[in-house]
Structure 1
Amino acid sequence: MSHDHGAHLPEERQVKQAMLRGALGRCPACGKGKLFSGYLNVNATCAHCGEDLHHQRADDGPAYLTILLVSHLGAPLLLAIYMIYRPSAMSMLIGFGLGAVVLSLFLLPRIKGAFIGFQWARRMHGFGATPLAPAETPSS
């Protein structure tokens, strides 16, 4: 006895929309509630729609991607500035050091939010999983 309606897949979640919402610091599900309670602390649930957000496992991914982006933007810019203007070593250290720190602090929460949005949209790490029915216990 087979039921077609019982085996359907859950509705598709828009990855791009969820990542954009997360990058803006909003709940990937509704886009209204705040994703973060602090700079990088993720709320356990969305205050607006009640979506569980504690499943996220961004770990070190956002930090690695931030370093990759900042270094790939900074290195060619550093070379171009040096070749065109020939500034002193101290001004290069101060300028690019400060620039790298500011850009990293700006990008890190946005990238982490996008990671969480991606995980939510792809139903990774428990996002969107329906609670399992309790296992039947054998009677003695």
Structure 2
Amino acid sequence: MKTLLKNYKLIIVLLLMVSLPSCSNDDDPELTVSELLSNKWFAETIEDVSTTPSTIEILDSCTQKSYYNFLIDGTLLTNIYTLDGDNNCVASGTDAYNYILSADGKQIVAQDEDSIATQILVIDAISTTNLTIYNTSTPNSKINFKR
């Protein structure tokens, strides 16, 4: 009788253990493209996809200071850094754009504050740490950014 009672308790304990919900990162909701995009992204490489195989240019430390900062309110701030003739790292100054992310999360339409210039950027890849985009006017040059 004792053995039967022990087996019965063991079965109940096992059933309780199996029935408990498991905790997993898979239960966390995935971030939307809009949520992933809303951040300051620093340029890292430019990939020329017009060649086979494609060629990747690793940007110098000055140019890697260049950034696109996508704000949640639909503002895009950019600042491009380059080396001048004396090898000094200089910023172009911050430019502001209004942007709209397409419903499918694959394109960004950015217009300067004066509504003169419009750029269409295609999101080639995006994650929590990497962003790859290209401008439709220069589709063979993909810019890779890191957070």
Q: Point out the structure with the larger strand share.
A: 2
Q: Which of the pair has the greater relative contact order for Cα pairs under 8 Å at 6+ separation?
A: 1
Q: Sort the TM-score into its range (normalised by shorter chain).
A: under 0.3
Q: TM-score, normalised by structure 1?
A: 0.25
Q: Point out the structure with the larger helix share.
A: 1
Q: TM-score, normalised by structure 2?
A: 0.24
